[in-house]
Amino acid sequence: MSGANESQRPDGPVRETVTDPTTEPVVRTTLPSEVVKPTRSDTVPQQGSTQPGDGSEVHAGPQVPFKEQVIGISQKTRGTITGNKGLKEHGEAILEGKASFFAEKEAEKNAKP
């Protein structure tokens, strides 16, 4: 089991290193602590919530219902493909929660005698 850089001797294998004189010396990487002095944080770590409703959770704003999202995305896509700017803008308004497809349909249904 002798390699190309090993020779067998009575006291065991000896490894010989081959150095190429054309190569440059290895550049040692610097540690971040050598570049910038380490800092220490004096702030207290955040504590876990011990009671429900103690203000530690963030509540999301009102979300557009899933059916409205599907209709908004389909109108936006259809408006983009067909070049109908009004339909695209209406789809975007539905996705932003500024318009409602079902509320408009209900209003149209009630307006017709």
The CA–CA distances, whole Å, from 54 to 19, 66, 113 equal 67, 30, 52
Per-position DSSP letters for the chain, written without gaps between them: ---TTEE--TT--EE-----TTSPPPPPPPPHHHHS------SPPPPPP-STTSS-SPPP-----HHHHHHHHHHHHHHHHHT-HHHHHHHHHHHHTS--HHHHHHHHHHH--
- The answer to whether 102 and 67 are in contact (CB under 8 A) is yes
The per-residue pLDDT for range 14-48, each reduced to its tens digit, is: 566 666 667 666 667 777 777 777 676 666 566 66
| pTM (predicted TM-score) | 0.45
Question: Residue 2 above 50 pLDDT?
Answer: no
